[in-house]
């Protein structure tokens, strides 16, 4: 008899004070802080927002120890504000966008920078540079009603206790409501979708044995160890 397909479960993220959040899709915004756009060689005043995706099972819970990924010699950290959606829609108006938000979390958009640079040069897709196994660490979600002033929160990443990235959410080029509105013109957003909203400047290499500690004011911290 043919072997049955191995059982698998959807990915969930813990929520402070509520049931787990089941992840449907992971959308990520490219270049959403001017200083980071500049450090990557782009003009932040000219580019419209653009998006790429990661598989939902690339999520890693805070506190995890994960292997250094295969096929790269230049793994980079990108600390990001993650937005979790409880409702969706198409062509969502900016003024309505906040109603879709369930909560927020600290996330890392881990990137094989060498593969991304090669893909850019050759005009190829970014999927294997961005959407690899364990590429989307995410801290527990804090519900929207339990967060004050996320728009002006400080976002920071330490690697081995050294501050590598530090900025403020109010430096986003495209605000969270603008991003939701824009993305909902491209696809119909759905409950369970996550949006990684882009990284500030200071991205850099991560090595085996490194300890990453990400914070955003008012949210649960993110801790990841690389073995």
Stretches 2-10, 105-113, 165-173, 204-212: which one binds Mn ion (CB under 5 A)? 105-113
Span near Mn ion by CB under 5 A; candidates 37-45, 71-79, 99-107, 177-185: 71-79
Q: Which is nearer to Mn ion, 126 or 211 (CB)?
A: 126
In whole angstroms, give the CA distance from residue 75 to residue 204: 8
Give the Cα separation of 116 and 120 in Å (integer).
6
Asked if 167 is part of the footprint of Mn ion (rule: CB under 5 A), the reply reads no
Shortest reach from residue 198's CB to Mn ion, in Å: 6
Minimum gap (Å) between residue 216 Cβ and Mn ion = 15
- Contact status: 109 vs Mn ion (CB under 5 A): yes
Only segment of 44-52, 94-102, 104-112, 217-225 that touches Mn ion (CB under 5 A):
104-112
Work out whether 223 is an interface residue with Mn ion (CB under 5 A).
no
Task: Name the closest residue to Mn ion (Cβ).
Answer: 109
Q: What is the secondary structure of 108-130 as a DSSP string?
A: E--EEHHHHHHHHHHT--SHHHH
> Counting contacts by CB under 5 A, is residue 78 touching Mn ion?
yes
Could you identify the residue written with the tokens 């490194």?
A: 210
Alpha-carbon distance of 56 to 76, in angstroms, equals 20
- CB nearer to Mn ion: pick between 68 and 126: 126
Binding to Mn ion (CB under 5 A) within 173-202 occurs at: 199
CB of 37 to Mn ion, least distance (A): 11
How many residues lie near Mn ion (CB under 5 A)? 3
**CB neighbour class for 141 (10 Å; exposed up to 12, middle 13-18, buried from 19):** buried
End-to-end alpha carbon distance in the chain: 40
Hey, CA dihedral for 207, 167, 104, 96, is it positive or negative?
negative
State in angstroms the smallest separation of the CB of 58 from Mn ion.
13
Closer residue to Mn ion (CB): 35 or 148: 35
Question: Is there a contact between 154 and 216 (Cβ–Cβ < 8 Å)?
Answer: yes
In the complex with Mn ion, the residue whose CB is nearer, 72 or 143, is 72
97: how many CB neighbours lie within 10 A of its CB?
23
Alpha carbon distance 60, 168 (integer Å): 24
Residue 170 Cβ vs Mn ion, minimum distance, rounded to whole Å: 18
Q: Return residues touching Mn ion (CB under 5 A).
A: 78, 109, 199
């Amino acid at each position: 008899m043919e072997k049955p397909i191995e059982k698998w479960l959807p990915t969930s993220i813990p929520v402070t004070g509520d049931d787990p959040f089941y992840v449907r899709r992971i959308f990520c915004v490219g270049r959403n802080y001017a200083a980071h756009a500049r450090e990557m060689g782009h003009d932040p005043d000219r580019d419209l927002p653009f998006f790429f995706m990661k598989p939902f099972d690339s999520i890693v819970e805070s506190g995890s120890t994960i292997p250094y990924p295969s096929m790269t010699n230049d793994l980079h950290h990108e600390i990001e504000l993650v937005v979790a959606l409880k409702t969706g829609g198409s062509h969502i108006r900016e003024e309505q966008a906040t109603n879709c938000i369930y909560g927020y979390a600290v996330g890392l958009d881990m990137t094989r920078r060498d593969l991304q640079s090669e893909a850019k040069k050759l005009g190829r897709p970014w999927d294997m540079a961005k959407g690899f196994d364990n590429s989307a660490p995410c801290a527990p979600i804090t519900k929207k009603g339990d967060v004050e002033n996320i728009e002006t929160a400080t976002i920071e990443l330490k690697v081995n206790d050294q501050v590598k990235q530090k900025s403020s959410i109010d430096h986003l080029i495209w605000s969270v409501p603008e991003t939701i509105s824009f993305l909902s013109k491209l696809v119909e957003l759905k409950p369970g979708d996550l949006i990684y909203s882009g990284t500030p400047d200071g991205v850099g290499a991560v090595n085996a044995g490194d300890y990453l500690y990400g914070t955003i004011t008012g949210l649960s911290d993110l801790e990841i160890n690389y073995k």
